[in-house]
Copies of this chain bind each other. A is one copy, B any other.
């Protein structure tokens, strides 16, 4: 019996946590449909996360997943940050504004968030998933003692071994195709950019943990392929962005359902960490930029300010419009219907 069996899913499908996109309504709809729904609390604090968990529980009795960012805390580098802000000046300037004069670390890492840990130990979600790294052993032990099943996103075999050693229960094998932030523990280390095919096989054969395949999977055929590769489930994020339960805004949805969806780009300019995004104005600018952004999430402070400014001028092309390489297959279906559709696609092969 794998930890996933313990969750009693009727379909080996996980709706990926997506900060700013997934919602309690989405997670509950997915879990009620027999898959595993997820919320992401990496961008909010413990009280807000507690509310979000309660909002899911108001809609479902089924298990769901709470996702956290466990990045190494950012290193402030004032000179680098000043250069970055100077580099962004023309982008702010087109809206007759100046960049902020300083930047701050806008998200507290779960690796250093005692209040979040205490809240999770009390509320005991069925699954807690970790992105960007692993917190200290005592924090993991606290979650396990609370009965939480632990997932960790990994992009390499070395990260898989680290997750296993830390006591994680299951691996999310995040292929290079995946949308949003690449979960590599150290964003300054060389990245082998392993695709979902190769990474899934590698982790299935060479790690000792069950593997959930993620990246470029959008439909029942993709889920079946993931299972054939030896994964016990597939995690789909981009597939759910277009659902009515998503909090993606109109510009994001329009970009997702445009021809641009075929041309996602891995970029660091929005947040400071590599993330796969629809090719909007900010991303396109980033392709030409040689300046190194500040650490995540310090750079994100600037990116969010720029997006807010642009939006106030009616320009939606500076947002974090994350999407994976499967984006051309996004569907604007209610989440429960999407799960049912994927289930039926798996059956007809």
Report A's interface with B, CB cutoff 8 A.
157, 175-177, 190, 192-199, 201-202, 205-206, 215-219, 221-222, 224-226, 228-230, 262-264, 287, 324-326, 328-329, 349
Contacts and interface: CB of A to CB of B under 8 A. Distances in A.
Contacts of A264: 192
B229 A221 contact: yes
Interface centre among A195, A196, A221, A226 (most CB of B within 10 A): A195
A22 to B, nearest CB: 21
Interface centre among A196, A198, A206 (most CB of B within 10 A): A198
Given A198-B216, A201-B222, A225-B226, 11 more contacts: A176-B193, A177-B195, A194-B325, A195-B195, A195-B197, A195-B216, A198-B324, A225-B225, A225-B229, A228-B228, A228-B349
A198 B326 CA distance: 5
A195 B221 contact: no
Contact of A216 (B201, B325, B349): B201
Contact of A202 (B199, B262, B287, B324): B262
Nearest to A193: B176
A167 to B, nearest CB: 24
A202 B217 CA distance: 11
21 contacts: A176-B176, A176-B193, A177-B194, A190-B287, A192-B262, A192-B263, A195-B325, A196-B197, A197-B215, A197-B216, A197-B217, A197-B325, A197-B326, A201-B221, A201-B222, A202-B328, A202-B329, A222-B228, A224-B225, A224-B228, A225-B225
Q: How many chain copies?
A: 2
Given A192-B263, A192-B325, A262-B157, A222 B197 contact: yes
A292 to B, nearest CB: 15
Contacts of A226: 225
Contacts of A216: 195, 197-198, 201
A172 B89 CA distance: 45
A182 to B, nearest CB: 13
A199 B324 CA distance: 12
Contacts of A196: 195-197
A221 B201 CA distance: 9
Nearest to A346: B228
Contacts of A201: 216, 218-219, 221-222, 326, 329
A199 B326 CA distance: 8
Nearest to A224: B228
A217 B225 CA distance: 12
Interface centre among A176, A215, A230 (most CB of B within 10 A): A176
Contacts of A217: 197
Contact of A230 (B177, B197, B221, B228): B221
A11 to B, nearest CB: 15
B329 A205 contact: yes
Contacts of A262: 157, 192, 202
Contacts of A199: 325
A107 B105 CA distance: 54
Contacts of A263: 190, 192
